[in-house]
Each structure stands twice: as C-alpha cells, then as structure tokens.
Amino acid sequence: MSRVDVVVVGSANVDHVVQVSRLPSLGETVAGNRYFTAPGGKGLNQAVAVARQDASVALIACLGTDEAGDQLARVLEGEGIHAGGLRRTSQSPTGLAFIAVAASGANTVVVAPLANATLTPEDIDAAAGLIAGARVLLAQLEVPAATVARALQVARDAGVTTVLNPAPAPGPAWGQAIAPGLVDVLVPNETEATELSGVGAEDAGAALVAEGCGTVVVTIGEGGALVTSRSGPSSWLVPAFAVSSVDGTGAGDAFCGALAAGLAAGEPMTAALRRAAAAGALATTAMGAVPSLPSAAAVGSFLARSP
C-alpha cells in the first residue's frame, strides 16, 4: 500500500446548497435566490484541503454505489486523493447535506449520514497499513465514534500524530467513546469545546488537556484560535485574518486540512497554525465547501501579503 503524508477518516456527502438573504427562524420559511450542489462531507472536505496544500493524502470513507457516489469518487481522483481506503456499498445511498447560506456568510447544515454511518472498525483494520505508513491521521465525528476510536488507536500504536476535529460534538461523555489520551491535537470550535468540556470556551482547552489531549485548538471565528498545550507555552492566541467573508461553510475544514498538512511536513505547531488560520480565512471568501478550499500557492501568497 502506498505511503501518504496524511490519512483522513471521515464522511463524504453531496451538498445541496441554497443561498438566502437571512437564515430562517424556527418554523419560518424564507425564499432562496441560488441553488447548487457540490461535493462535501467533513472527511472529503478535509482530504481535499490537505491535497491542495501539496501533501499526499488518502481518504478512508464509504460511498454508495449510486451516481452521487460516482460523482464523489471522480472528485477524489481529480484531486489526486489515494482511494485505497474507500469502500462502496449497495446497502445505503451516498451521504447528503442540506445547507442554507445567508448573505452574511452564516449557515445552517442538516446532514443525512446514510453510507457514512456504515463505516466500521473493520474498514479501519483493512486500511491499517495505510494509516501506519502516514505521518498524520485526521478524523472527525460524522462517521461512527467506534470507527474513529479504532483509527486513533491504530495510529497511536504506529506512532502517527493524531488530529481530531470533534464535529459534531458528542457531548461531555465523549471520553466514553473516544479516549482523549489518543488525541494529540483536538480542534473544536467554541460550541464543540463547551459541549465536550462542560465549561466555557476560554477554559475548555485547559479542561480538555487535563482529560488527556496533547494540544487543544479552539477555533473562535473572527477571534482566531485559542491554543492550550501540555508542552511549550501553556496557552496562546492565533490571530484571525481579516477578509471579506461570503460563506463560512468550509472554513473549519480548510483550517484542519492545512494544519494536518503542516504538521505532516514537520512544521512547528505555531507555523502550522498560522497557515491553517490563513486557509480558513480564505475559504470564507468563496461559496461552497470544496470549491472554496484554497491551494498552497494561494495560502502562501496571502501570508506573504499579511503582517
């Protein structure tokens, strides 16, 4: 099995996106002014984000044997993503997501996991050699927690750096499904950090490091990212970059993918986080998830122009 820099374990969806002037309140209907479909799912998004940072990457995921699955398989091929961990199933259709994006860039997302929910620990075992040969494992929680836990354990046993984006957050009992000690770098947003730790976002990093995570990076949108680590400085802020945002859908995935790529390249955490912040900012300047994910050249140029 070919060696890659980063292995991503996660979901792959077809996103159905509607632009609206504002997001609806509970029970309210608003009119959309643009509709399109695009490849998505946090696993696929983050794999593409890694690939566009010029790192080699494989995706372990499950697609249906339908046209949507064929569409996503073509995306992976086009992005140069290793498909050795990809499984197709006729028992469930490919995952779907329904996204409303407001003029402000704010969004709401409803996900139907479908084939993603059938990714199993046995799929991880089948791709154990792929994981063991990588430098970084990157995972999220849009596939079963038991599958993610197995992937983290396989990576830890092989000495591979583990990065977990705990989205959607499973709540404060997450340690019962996934041992925090298996996570070298945890990357929640403010809401996820609070749900996981039971304390406010400002204190969540310290609480989650105390539970066993090596480093916790709490992303706080325009406020940047608050980092708490067991080693080096106990905590510091990674400033956000000011951009004209139109859609925040892929920002977190761009951040995680660029961070994983940077760590796989041997960059210090501070440098990898700055690159991740730049990638996340650039992703908000275009519509959609995968279409918005920036290239390494775009990130490098943006950083060169930024103070």
Q: Look up residue 122 and give its two tokens.
A: 């046995």
Q: Is 11 left (phi over 0), alpha (psi -120 to 50) or beta?
A: beta
How buried is residue 175: exposed, middle or buried, by Cβ count under 10 Å (0-12/13-18/19+)? middle
Catalytic residue among 66, 123, 184, 253: 253
- Quote the CA–CA distance of 77 and 84 in Å, as a whole number: 11
Residue 217, H or E segment: strand 215-219
Q: Is 253 a catalytic residue?
A: yes
Q: How many residues does the chain have?
A: 307
Count CB-CB contacts under 10 A for residue 122. Answer: 11
| Of 257, 223, 256, nearest in space to 237 by CA | 223
Q: Which residues contact 109 (CB under 8 A, 6 or more apart)?
A: 97, 98, 99, 249
Please state, in angstroms and rounded to a whole number, the distance separating the CA atoms of residues 33 and 8.
Answer: 34
CA distances from residue 293 to 188, 278, 288, 290 in whole angstroms, order as listed: 19, 11, 9, 5
- Catalytic sites, residue numbers: 253
